[in-house]
Homo-oligomer: A and B are copies of this chain.
Amino acid sequence: MDPGEAARLAAKVHGTDFSKVPQFLDISPEAITAQVHAVNSNCKDDRTKFIFERLITHLHDFVRETSLTTDEWMTAINFLTAVGHKSSDLRSEMILLSDTLGVSSLVEMLNNAKPPNATVGTVLGPFFTNDAHHLQTGESIASEGKGHYMYVEGKILTTKGEPIPGATIDTWESDGDGIYDNQYENRTEPDCRGQLKSEKDGSFAYRAVVPVPYGIPNDGPVASMLGHLGRHIYRPGHLHVRVEAPGYETLITALYFEGDPYVTSDAVFGVRNSLIIKSTVVEDPEVTKARGFLNTSKPHTYLKHDFILPTVQEAEEAKKALKLKLKSHL
């Protein structure tokens, strides 16, 4: 039997529609990219087709520009497989890879553009929980002894400077050892996290502890990759804040500290210039007492920052403007 005929018979069994496959073959180190595009061109979803067209082009250009060796390709295959194997329902090494290559942070910025005077967002991170205690203004999110005292206050405002009362503020942080409550195996209740509402004048205030730098998981292929790149695995200390108010774009952000030596080399690129805040140290026992700290002889760090929320419509306009700006760069 003619193998072409044998193949046509086999194809008949498979039910392949040959009116939809490329009619010509052209495979060379340069031409293979167009060949893959041709094979993918029957995709019925235009968005998926566009994404794969860009993906294939960049992947192939990368391989050509680096003249990637067979050994290097195999290293990449084994690395990505190991990243997959290390990922579970409890831990995503694949997200960590995206984080450490700056991809997660870039996706965050592209999808959460804000008007110029609004507070910018940053990555949510893996430590948010839904069970934080509800607090009154001035209460503490951290139990006594979890770290150096910190007092946080500010206002929730519109882009026009008007107060937003009744906004829901979620805030969470590592303790003074750089560990989140849900990283402790014996966690019985939430700590170093809380939920509160802004007052009529948009103000909020709470006690906390000074969050300190901590490392990303150091037992996986991603930490090993950072080692090969001569990078450290640390994030600068930061305080997570999420603000939600009806009619306004929900803000997911974090505050970083001026003077933190990790602020310019965050392992996951979560820092934004405008989120690096200058804090002060308060040593006056009267102020410490008035703010509700138990040990009035200890100094506390004072962090003041207003969060400015755009309306949903203002945020949509900012997102559209960013997309247009990026398109003009193509």
Contacts and interface: CB of A to CB of B under 8 A. Distances in A.
Interface of A: 1-8, 10-11, 14, 16, 18, 20-30, 32-33, 35-36, 39-40, 42-45, 48-52, 54-56, 58-70, 72-73, 77, 80-85, 87, 92, 94-95, 98, 101-111, 148, 150, 176, 178, 210-215, 228-232, 234, 236-237, 257-265, 269, 271-273, 276, 279, 281, 299, 301, 322-323, 326, 329-330
B261 A7 contact: yes
A143 to B, nearest CB: 18
Contacts of A20: 230
B83 A3 contact: no
Residue among A30, A56, A59, A69 with max Cβ neighbours from chain B (10 Å): A59
Contacts of A98: 73, 77
A322 B164 CA distance: 64
Given A32-B269, A230-B44, A326-B67, A259 B80 contact: no
Nearest to A83: B84
Given A84-B80, A273-B25, A279-B2, A7 B106 contact: no
21 contacts: A2-B281, A3-B212, A6-B212, A11-B261, A23-B264, A24-B264, A25-B276, A32-B102, A33-B102, A36-B101, A39-B265, A40-B229, A42-B230, A43-B229, A49-B229, A51-B68, A59-B103, A63-B110, A65-B326, A73-B104, A84-B84
Residue among A1, A52, A211, A215 with max Cβ neighbours from chain B (10 Å): A1
A234 to B, nearest CB: 6
A236 to B, nearest CB: 6
A1 B234 contact: no
A64 B113 CA distance: 13
A265 B22 contact: yes
A106 B63 contact: yes
Given A11-B213, A32-B109, A262-B7, A62 B55 contact: yes
B14 A234 contact: yes
Given A14-B213, A54-B65, 6 more contacts: A1-B299, A6-B148, A10-B212, A21-B232, A25-B263, A84-B94
Nearest to A41: B230
A145 B45 CA distance: 45
Contact of A234 (B8, B16, B26): B16
Contact of A111 (B27, B70, B212, B260): B70
Nearest to A67: B323
A128 to B, nearest CB: 15
A249 to B, nearest CB: 14
A259 B7 contact: yes
Nearest to A53: B66
Contacts of A10: 178, 212-214, 237
